[in-house]
C-alpha cells in the first residue's frame, strides 16, 4: 500500500490529468442523463411490434368490418396495445371502438373519435394494472362510414413466431393485424445508462491503477477489452449484429446436444425452449424498448414470456467448432436455469473472455512495436462488435491476431524453434482452416523467421510444409464431420439465388474484364471498406457513426504505427512481403464474394464488408510502421493509446445510445 501511495505521489501530473478527464466525463454524463436519457424513459415500452407490409399495399379498409385477433402471448405485463391506421380523417366525428377481451369478457375498451386518431401507430393505453396476455383478444370496429384502413402482416415469420391470424366479420383470414404490445414505459434505460457510465468509470480507474503499479500492457489489454466488450454487449443487444441470429441458433443447438435435449425437429430446424431467445420480439434495428427489455431481463425479471417450444430454422453448417466459448457459456447458463436473455448474454460474455485472454497472451509475446499495433486493432469498435456477439469472429480474430504475435515472437527472439512452437502454430492454423481458410496467408509471416532459428537444415521449409499439411487435414476433417453431422440432422435447403453469379471459369476466360471489375471495386469502395473496418456502420449496418469517430480511431491506428528509436527495422523486401500478404487476402476475399454472391449483371463486386479485412490488418500496419519515428519511449506511446481509446470509445458508445434511444 505504501508503495502504491508513493507511486501515486510520483505521478502528480498523470493523476491530475486522470482526475480532470474523469470529472469531465462525469459532468458530461450527468448532463446527458438529465437532458436526453430521463425524458425518453417515460415513453411506451413496445416489446413486440409488427409493422404493416406497406410496400405491398397490405392495408384493409375498416368500413363495415368487425375485426378480431387473439394476441400472441408475449408478456404477462400488458399495459396497452397499438394498431397501425391509414387514411384517418382529422375532421370526422365518427366513433371507433377498441376492446380487449379475456375469456370472452371485456376487460378494457376505448371509444375514440376518428378526429382524435392519427395516421400511423396509435397506442391505446390502459389506466389499470398490467394484464396477463394469455387468452386476450383485440377487437375493433367503426360506428359509421369511414375511409380508415388498418395495417396487416402477411409474410413468412409466422412459421416460427406462431403469430395468430385475425378474423373479419367472423371469417378467418390468412393474415394478422399489424399491432404493437406495450408493457409499461422505458424507465429501465436509466439503469442501462448508469451501468454503462459505471463501466467506463471502472475502465478509467483500472487504467490509472495499472499505470501506478507499472502493470504489463498485456494485463491492461485484457481488462480494457473485457470491460469495453461488456459495454458493447449492452449497447448492441442480441441479434442486432449482422447474422447473429444464425450464429446464435448454431450455438444453441450445440448446447442442446450437450444437455441431451432434442436440438432439431425432423427437418433439421433448431428447437428453442423457454430459455431460448424468441426472434419475433427482437428486431435487427434496436430501439429504446430493446434496451429496456434486455436490461430488465438481465436483472432477472422475465418481461418477455413466450411459452412452449419454438421451431426456428436450420443452423449454420460451416465452422462447427467455432462456437466453443459461446456454447459453453450458454450451456452453463441453461444449467443454472437463467432466463433467455441471461442465457444469451452469458454466451456473449464467454466469447468475449476467450478473445480477451488470447489477445492478452499475444500482446505478451509480441515485440514492443507489435504490442501497440495489436492493442489498437483489437480494440477497434468493429472488432468489439464482432467479438461480443455469437459470431465466430471472436475466435477467428483472436487466433489470427495471436498467430501474428507468435510469429513475430519467433522472428525476434534468440531461442531456437522447438516442438512446442510448432504445435502452437499448427493448432492456430487448424482453427483458422476450420473456420475460414482464406486467412491462412497470415502464416506467410513465418517466411521472415531467420533460418538460424531452426534446429535442422531446411527447417523453415519443413515447418511451413507441415503446417500446410495440417491445415489441409483440418479442413478435410471438419468438412467430413460437418457432412456426417448434418446428414444426421438434415436441414431445409436455403432459398436458391434468384440470379446467376460469376463463375470461376469467367476469371480465367475474361482476364481483362476481371481486372477492370476488381479495379473499379477497389476504386469505388476503398473508403467504405476503411470505415467499415474501423467503426461504422455498427449493428445490422444501420447505426452509422460520424466522421469524427472514424478520424479518432484512425489517429489511434496511425499513432500505433509510429516507431521508436529502439524498434528493429525491417528491410524493404520484408515490408513488401507483408504488403503482398495483405493484398493477396484482400483480392482473395473480393474474388470469393464475386463468385459466390455477385450477380453477373453488376460490374463491381457485391457483398464485401470492411470487417472481412480485419484479421490481416496488423500485417499492413507492421509493413508501414517506422515511416515516422518518435523520440518518446514505448511506454508513453502505449499509455497515450489506451487513454485515446477510452475517450473515443466513450464518444462511440454515446453516439450509439443517442441513435438507439432516440428511435
Written as one string, the DSSP assignment of 41-97 is TTSEEEEEE----GGGT-EEE-TT--EEEEPPP--S-B-EEEEEEES--TT---EEE
| Dihedral angle, C-alpha 323, 326, 332, 335, nearest 10 ° | -80
* 477-518 confidence digits (pLDDT tens): 766 766 666 555 555 544 445 567 888 888 888 888 889 999
pLDDT of residue 40: 95
pLDDT of residue 162: 66
CA atoms within 13 A on the CB side of 496: 4
| Residue 196 neighbours by CB under 8 Å, 6+ apart | 231, 234, 235, 653, 657
Where residue 57 falls (left for φ over 0; alpha for ψ -120 to 50; beta otherwise) is left
Lowest mean pLDDT across 315-329, 342-356, 474-488, 582-596: 474-488
* Grid cell 448508469 in the structure block, residue: 194
**CB count in 10 Å sphere of residue 104:** 7
Nearest Cα residue to 384 out of 647, 654, 614: 614
SS3 264: strand
Q: How confident is the model at residue 553 (pLDDT cuts 50, 70, 90)?
A: very high
Q: How confident is the model at residue 567 (pLDDT cuts 50, 70, 90)?
A: confident
Residue 154 has pLDDT above 90, yes or no: no
Lowest mean pLDDT across 206-210, 317-321, 559-563: 317-321
Tell me what percent of the chain is helix, strand and coil, each rounded to the nearest 5. Answer: 55, 15, 30
Beta bridge partners of 105: 102
SS3 503: coil
Lowest mean pLDDT across 156-165, 299-308, 325-334, 617-626: 156-165
β-pairing, 95-102 vs 105-113, is antiparallel
How close are the terminal C-alpha atoms of the chain, in Å?
Answer: 48
b or e along 281-310 (b: 16 or more beta carbons within 10 Å of the residue's beta carbon)? bbbeebbbbbbbbbbbbbeeebbbbbeeeb
For 160, 233, 330, 391, 614, the CA distances from 376, given in Å and listed in that order, are: 41, 19, 29, 21, 12
* 172-219 confidence digits (pLDDT tens): 998 889 899 999 999 999 999 999 999 999 999 999 999 888 889 999
Which helix (H) or strand (E) is 112 found in, with range?
Answer: strand 105-113
Q: How confident is the model at residue 337 (pLDDT cuts 50, 70, 90)?
A: very high
* 602-650 confidence digits (pLDDT tens): 888 988 999 999 999 999 999 988 777 777 677 788 889 999 999 999 9
Percentage of the residues of the chain whose pLDDT score is greater than 70? 91
What value does the mean pLDDT take over residues 97-123?
92
Give the separation between CA 186 and CA 40, rounded to whole angstroms: 7
pLDDT of residue 525: 92
SS3 113: strand
Chain mean pLDDT for the chain: 87
CA atoms within 13 A on the CB side of 584: 15
Residue 272 has pLDDT above 60, yes or no: yes
Q: Is residue 342 within 8 Å of 294, Cβ to Cβ?
A: no
What value does the mean pLDDT take over residues 97-110?
92
| Dihedral angle, C-alpha 28, 34, 37, 43, nearest 10 ° | -170
Task: Identify how many contiguous H helices and E strands the chain contains and give both numbers.
Answer: 21, 17
Which helix (H) or strand (E) is 463 found in, with range?
Answer: helix 459-488
φ and ψ of 184, to 5 deg: 75, -155
* 44-84 confidence digits (pLDDT tens): 999 888 776 555 558 888 988 899 999 988 888 899 999 98
| Residue 291 neighbours by CB under 8 Å, 6+ apart | 186, 188, 189, 192, 235, 237, 660, 661
157 or 398: which leads in pLDDT? 398
φ and ψ of 49, to 5 deg: -135, 130
- Indicate the burial class of 508 (C-beta count within 10 angstroms; 0-12, 13-18, 19 or more): exposed
Amino acid at each position: 500500500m505504501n508503495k502504491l501511495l508513493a507511486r501515486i505521489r510520483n505521478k502528480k501530473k498523470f493523476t491530475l490529468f486522470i482526475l480532470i478527464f474523469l470529472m469531465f466525463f462525469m459532468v458530461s454524463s450527468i448532463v446527458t442523463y438529465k437532458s436526453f436519457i430521463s425524458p425518453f424513459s417515460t415513453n411506451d415500452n413496445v416489446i413486440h411490434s409488427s409493422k404493416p407490409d406497406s410496400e405491398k399495399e397490405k392495408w384493409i379498409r375498416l368500413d363495415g368490418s368487425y375485426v378480431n385477433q387473439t394476441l400472441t402471448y408475449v408478456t404477462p405485463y400488458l399495459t396497452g396495445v397499438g394498431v397501425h391506421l391509414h387514411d384517418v380523417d382529422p375532421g370526422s366525428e365518427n366513433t371507433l371502438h377498441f376492446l380487449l377481451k379475456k375469456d370472452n369478457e371485456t376487460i378494457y375498451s376505448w371509444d375514440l373519435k376518428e378526429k382524435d386518431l392519427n395516421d400511423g401507430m396509435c397506442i391505446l393505453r390502459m389506466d389499470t394494472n398490467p394484464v396477463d396476455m394469455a387468452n386476450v383478444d383485440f377487437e375493433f370496429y367503426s360506428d359509421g362510414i369511414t375511409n380508415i384502413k388498418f395495417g396487416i402482416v402477411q409474410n413468412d415469420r409466422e412459421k416460427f413466431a406462431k403469430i395468430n391470424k385475425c378474423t373479419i366479420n367472423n371469417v378467418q383470414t390468412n393474415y394478422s393485424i399489424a399491432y404493437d404490445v406495450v408493457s409499461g414505459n422505458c424507465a429501465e434505460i436509466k439503469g442501462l445508462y448508469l451501468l454503462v457510465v459505471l463501466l467506463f468509470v471502472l475502465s478509467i480507474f483500472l487504467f490509472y491503477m495499472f499505470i501506478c503499479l507499472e502493470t504489463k500492457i498485456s494485463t491492461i489489454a485484457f481488462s480494457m477489452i473485457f470491460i469495453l466488450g461488456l459495454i458493447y454487449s449492452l449497447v448492441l443487444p442480441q441479434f442486432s449484429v449482422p447474422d447473429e441470429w444464425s450464429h446464435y441458433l448454431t450455438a444453441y443447438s450445440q448446447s442442446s446436444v450437450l444437455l441431451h435435449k432434442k436440438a432439431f425437429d425432423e427437418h433439421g430446424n433448431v428447437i428453442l425452449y423457454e430459455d431460448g431467445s424468441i426472434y419475433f420480439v427482437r428486431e435487427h434495428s434496436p430501439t429504446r424498448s430493446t434496451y429496456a427489455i434486455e436490461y430488465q431481463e438481465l436483472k432477472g425479471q422475465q418481461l418477455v414470456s413466450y411459452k412452449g417450444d419454438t421451431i426456428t430454422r436450420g443452423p449454420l453448417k460451416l465452422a462447427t467448432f467455432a462456437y466453443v466459448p459461446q456454447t459453453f457459456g450458454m450451456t452453463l447458463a441453461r444449467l443454472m436455469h437463467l432466463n433467455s436473455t441471461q442465457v444469451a448474454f452469458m454466451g456473449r460474455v464467454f466469447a468475449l473472455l476467450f478473445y480477451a485472454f488470447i489477445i492478452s497472451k499475444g500482446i505478451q509475446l509480441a515485440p514492443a512495436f507489435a504490442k501497440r499495433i495489436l492493442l489498437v486493432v483489437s480494440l477497434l469498435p468493429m472488432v468489439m462488435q464482432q467479438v461480443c456477439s455469437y459470431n465466430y469472429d471472436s475466435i477467428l480474430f483472436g487466433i489470427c491476431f495471436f498467430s501474428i504475435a507468435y510469429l513475430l515472437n519467433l522472428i525476434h527472439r534468440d531461442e531456437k524453434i522447438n516442438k512446442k512452437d510448432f504445435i502452437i502454430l499448427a493448432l492456430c492454423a487448424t482453427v483458422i482452416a476450420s473456420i475460414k481458410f482464406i486467412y491462412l496467408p497470415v502464416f506467410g509471416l513465418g517466411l521472415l523467421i531467420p533460418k538460424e532459428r531452426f534446429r535442422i537444415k531446411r527447417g523453415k521449409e519443413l515447418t511451413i510444409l507441415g503446417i500446410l499439411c495440417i491445415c489441409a487435414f483440418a479442413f478435410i476433417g471438419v468438412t467430413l464431420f460437418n457432412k456426417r453431422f448434418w446428414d444426421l440432422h438434415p436441414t431445409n435447403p436455403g432459398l436458391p439465388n434468384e440470379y446467376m453469379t460469376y463463375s470461376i471459369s469467367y476469371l480465367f476466360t475474361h482476364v481483362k474484364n476481371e481486372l477492370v471489375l476488381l479495379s473499379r471495386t477497389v476504386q469505388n469502395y476503398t473508403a467504405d471498406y476503411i470505415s467499415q473496418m474501423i467503426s461504422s456502420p455498427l449493428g445490422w449496418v444501420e447505426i452509422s457513426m460520424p466522421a469524427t469517430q472514424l478520424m479518432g480511431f484512425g489517429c489511434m491506428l496511425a499513432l500505433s504505427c509510429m516507431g521508436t528509436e529502439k524498434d528493429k527495422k525491417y528491410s524493404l523486401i520484408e515490408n513488401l512481403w507483408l504488403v503482398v500478404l495483405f493484398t493477396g487476402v484482400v483480392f482473395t476475399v473480393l474474388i470469393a464474394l464475386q463468385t459466390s454472391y455477385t450477380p453477373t449483371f453488376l460490374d463491381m463486386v457485391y457483398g464485401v464488408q470492411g470487417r472481412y479485412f480485419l484479421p490481416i490488418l496488423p500485417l499492413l500496419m507492421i509493413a508501414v510502421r517506422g515511416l515516422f519515428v518518435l523520440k518518446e519511449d514505448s511506454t508513453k506511446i502505449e499509455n497515450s493509446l489506451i487513454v485515446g481509446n477510452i475517450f473515443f470509445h466513450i464518444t462511440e458508445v454515446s453516439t450509439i445510445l443517442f441513435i438507439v434511444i432516440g428511435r
